């Protein structure tokens, strides 16, 4: 058993609680390479959390927040060079370059392995290597996947406890010979020759490396979010998307939401948006229409498989939320704010004078005496935000007031509709229904969004982001389209596919749609469509609500604004169609069915 006592981590016993031969041998092999001062097997216990968090407070990595305001919660300030995912440094090292496709960075796996051997040689010197077993998906479910992350970051260990089913239960599930995804992570700052540690160790050199065929992940140089918490984007999306392709299921960048209509009808929807487009807000929606109830199943990732009834069932593989803090407040997402009452880690928000956290949008006026995410005294006159735009909270999903009782159910929830969206100031209507599955795949393949701060790309430019999976698909995106097409072909019980856009602006630059809780009005239309209760109008780009199709009762919106929200301007769409065709060309190969859809769209626009 893993009976840890409160020793300093360098003294902590390296006693593994498993007889899994392959795991034991791999841990030893990685330790031989990375040369840590100690090895510690993590059990995920509260005692371990207490010990490691106290150690990180001593090291200056964490600040303990005021216990009376936010019990058992911590604040971290990252190195300013380590604040987001690094897509330019993310690699899919499939055996064949074509299998990574033109939208992923590819390197030959043999060369990359040699490179990794060099980089990782001695990279954990002076540090503890933590062995972090974790399970993506409900414990005990056959559909869940166990990963083991070896990391020299205790901040990662604590974050993994919040984000996954971590520690002993995951190790027990693995048994003596179960399958696991090996994940190796280092901050890339060995403590050699008397080097002094810093509060947020990281490296200028960053590598986020995936070997899809052998289902392995190696990550170097970053301590942040999706670069370092390898269960999330690396395993549950990039590696899982490859497993899903091979085994006939879907691993998607989607929230899962349960909706109960005033008459008691229950529907579950999944929705994909590029990072930082309000996914967490929608996952915790507070319906503005009375009588509706919305409950959260997941906010970022959905794994979907066919049930015995031929419907698609979704599970949330995660156990926590890693959400963008700025813009999250009582007005925009009360459920998120209330989830954060305790047991949370905040990274790169601002710190208040009385030991709590603050960020833009939490309250209308900032409290006096803030320290910003860089550690400097901050006032509204400072000229830069107090919280980094990609500041994050990490918190257990179970604390969410809107969590659905079935969120942890291994059977998952049956999906009625799949929504795709992005931030589009122009062109794209509030909601469009796909004519059929194949057309829906075409719509999803053409999702585009104005970029945000979640990745290093320039903020505010339009980027095509098929299925909101561009940074997360572990294989060639055209093969991924093919997988989606095949999966739904000829099946009767598939969910409807919808394109939504909460971000359309008027000529005067104003947002036309209020968004947030009022999005229930669009969801109501979608679910009424699923239940055959409302008509839709054919347009060249898909089926739209009638002019009075969206329930706007109690909403202060003009008929002109509503018309503009649903407008399909043929001239604008001719340009959109051309852009789609150009972007398809960049992919090299595109499934014939999608080229058919492209031609059909052009014909409808011309016709
Ligand atoms: O940093 S993460 O990749 O986990 C968050 C995101 O970009 O959505
Ligand atoms: Mn995401």
Where does ligand 1 bind, in terms of residues with CB under 6 Å? 85, 225-226, 232-233, 275, 322, 454
Q: Whose CA is nearest to atom 2 of ligand 1?
A: 226
Assess contact for 372 and 387: CB atoms under 8 A.
yes
**Cα–Cα distance between 505 and 515 in angstroms, integer?**
12
Q: Provide block-wise average pLDDT over 10 residues at a time, the chain (607 residues).
A: 40 74 98 98 97 98 98 98 97 98 98 98 98 97 96 98 98 97 98 94 98 98 97 98 98 98 98 88 97 98 97 98 96 97 98 98 98 98 97 98 97 98 95 98 96 60 93 98 97 97 94 97 98 98 97 97 97 96 95 98 96
**Cα–Cα distance between 510 and 19 in angstroms, integer?**
61
Ligand 2 centroid to 535 CA: how many Å? 33
Q: Whose CA is nearest to atom 1 of ligand 1?
A: 226
Best of 226, 393, 449 for a ligand 1 pocket test (most atoms within 8 Å of beta carbon): 226
Partners of 75 in beta bridges: 63, 346
Q: Beta 413-421 vs 496-500: how paired, if at all? A: parallel
Backbone angles phi, psi at 284, to 5 degrees: -115, 30
226 marked as binding residue: yes
Choose, from 42, 202, 234, 277, the residue flagged as catalytic.
277
Assess contact for 196 and 55: CB atoms under 8 A.
no
Tell me: the pLDDT tens digits for 451-483?
765 555 565 688 999 999 999 999 999 999 999
423 marked as binding residue: yes
Task: Indicate the fold that domain 321-396 takes in CATH.
Answer: Phosphoenolpyruvate Carboxykinase; domain 2 (2.170.8)
Assess contact for 348 and 392: CB atoms under 8 A.
yes
ipTM: 0.96
551 marked as binding residue: no
Give the number of the ligand closest to the Cα of residue 233: 1
Residue 229 Cα: closest atom of ligand 1: 4
Best of 76, 82, 84, 255 for a ligand 1 pocket test (most atoms within 8 Å of beta carbon): 84
First to last CA, the chain: 71
Ligand 2 centroid to 235 CA: how many Å? 13
Q: Token pair for residue 306?
A: 């066919």
Q: Token pair for residue 598?
A: 């492209």
465 marked as binding residue: no
CATH number at 251-319+405-606: 3.90.228.20
Ligand 2 centroid to 300 CA: how many Å? 5
Ligand 1 centroid to 340 CA: how many Å? 18
**Cα–Cα distance between 574 and 440 in angstroms, integer?**
19
Assess contact for 428 and 504: CB atoms under 8 A.
yes
Tell me: the pLDDT tens digits for 528-582?
999 999 999 999 999 999 999 999 999 999 999 999 999 999 999 999 999 999 9
**Cα–Cα distance between 515 and 281 in angstroms, integer?**
10
Residue 324 Cα: closest atom of ligand 1: 5
281 marked as binding residue: yes
Catalytic residue status for 277 = yes
CATH number at 21-61+85-247: 3.40.449.10
**Cα–Cα distance between 379 and 276 in angstroms, integer?**
25
233 marked as binding residue: yes
Partners of 216 in beta bridges: 211
Residue 275 Cα: closest atom of ligand 1: 8
Assess contact for 384 and 345: CB atoms under 8 A.
no
Residue 224 Cα: closest atom of ligand 1: 1
Structural domain spans, the chain: 21-61+85-247, 251-319+405-606, 321-396
Q: Whose CA is nearest to atom 7 of ligand 1?
A: 454
Q: Whose CA is nearest to atom 5 of ligand 1?
A: 226
Ligand 2 centroid to 454 CA: how many Å? 9
Q: Whose CA is nearest to atom 3 of ligand 1?
A: 226
Ligand 1 centroid to 392 CA: how many Å? 9
């Amino acid at each position: 058993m893993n009976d840890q006592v409160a020793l300093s981590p360098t003294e902590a016993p390296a006693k593994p609680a498993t007889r899994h031969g392959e795991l034991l041998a791999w841990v030893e092999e990685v330790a031989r390479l990375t040369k840590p001062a100690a090895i510690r097997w993590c059990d995920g216990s509260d005692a371990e959390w207490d010990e490691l968090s106290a150690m990180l407070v001593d090291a200056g990595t964490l600040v303990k927040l005021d216990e009376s305001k936010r019990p058992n919660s911590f604040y971290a300030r990252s190195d300013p060079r380590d604040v987001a995912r690094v897509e330019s440094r993310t690699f899919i090292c499939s055996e064949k370059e074509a299998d990574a496709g033109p939208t992923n960075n590819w390197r030959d796996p043999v060369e990359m392995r040699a490179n990794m051997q060099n980089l990782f040689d001695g990279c954990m010197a002076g540090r503890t290597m933590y062995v972090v077993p974790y399970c993506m998906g409900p414990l005990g479910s056959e559909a869940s996947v166990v990963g083991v992350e070896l990391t020299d970051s205790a901040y990662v260990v604590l974050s993994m406890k919040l984000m996954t089913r971590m520690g002993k239960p995951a190790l027990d599930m693995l048994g003596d010979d179960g399958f696991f995804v090996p994940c190796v992570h280092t901050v890339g700052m060995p403590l050699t020759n008397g080097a002094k540690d810093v509060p947020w160790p990281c490296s200028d050199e960053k590598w986020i490396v995936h070997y899809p065929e052998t289902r392995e992940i190696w990550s170097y140089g970053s301590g942040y979010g999706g670069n370092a918490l390898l269960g999330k984007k690396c395993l549950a999306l990039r590696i899982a998307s490859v497993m899903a392709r091979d085994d006939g299921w879907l691993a998607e960048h989607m929230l899962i939401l349960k909706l109960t209509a005033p008459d008691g009808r229950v529907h579950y929807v999944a929705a994909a948006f590029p990072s930082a487009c309000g996914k967490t807000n929608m996952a915790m929606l507070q319906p503005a229409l009375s009588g509706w109830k919305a409950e959260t199943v997941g906010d970022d990732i959905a794994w979907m498989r066919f049930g015995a009834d031929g419907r698609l069932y979704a599970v949330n593989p995660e156990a926590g939320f890693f959400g963008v803090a700025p813009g999250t407040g009582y007005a925009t997402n009360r459920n998120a704010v209330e989830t954060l009452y305790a047991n949370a880690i905040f990274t790169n928000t601002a710190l208040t004078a009385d030991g709590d956290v603050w960020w833009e949008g939490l309250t209308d006026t900032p409290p006096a005496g803030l320290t910003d995410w860089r550690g400097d005294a901050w006032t509204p006159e400072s000229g830069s935000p107090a919280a980094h735009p990609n500041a994050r909270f990490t918190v257990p999903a179970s604390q969410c007031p809107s969590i659905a009782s079935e969120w942890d159910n291994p059977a998952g929830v049956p999906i009625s509709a799949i929504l795709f969206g992005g931030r589009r100031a122009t062109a794209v209507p509030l909601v469009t229904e796909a004519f059929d599955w194949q057309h829906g795949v075409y719509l999803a393949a053409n999702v585009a969004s104005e970029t945000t701060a979640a990745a290093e790309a320039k903020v505010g430019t339009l980027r095509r982001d098929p299925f909101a999976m561009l940074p997360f698909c572990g294989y060639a995106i055209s093969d991924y389209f093919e997988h989606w097409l095949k999966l739904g072909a000829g099946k009767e019980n598939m969910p409807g596919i919808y394109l939504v856009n909460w971000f359309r602006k008027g000529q005067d630059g104003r947002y036309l749609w209020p968004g947030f809780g009022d999005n229930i009005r669009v969801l109501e239309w979608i679910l009424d469509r699923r239940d055959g209760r409302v008509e839709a109008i054919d347009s060249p780009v898909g089926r739209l609500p009638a002019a009075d199709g969206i329930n706007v009762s109690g909403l202060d919106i003009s008929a002109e604004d509503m018309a503009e929200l649903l407008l399909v301007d043929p001239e604008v769409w001719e340009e959109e169609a051309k852009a789609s065709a150009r972007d398809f060309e960049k992919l090299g190969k595109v499934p014939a069915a999608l080229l058919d859809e492209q031609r059909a769209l052009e014909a409808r626009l011309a016709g």
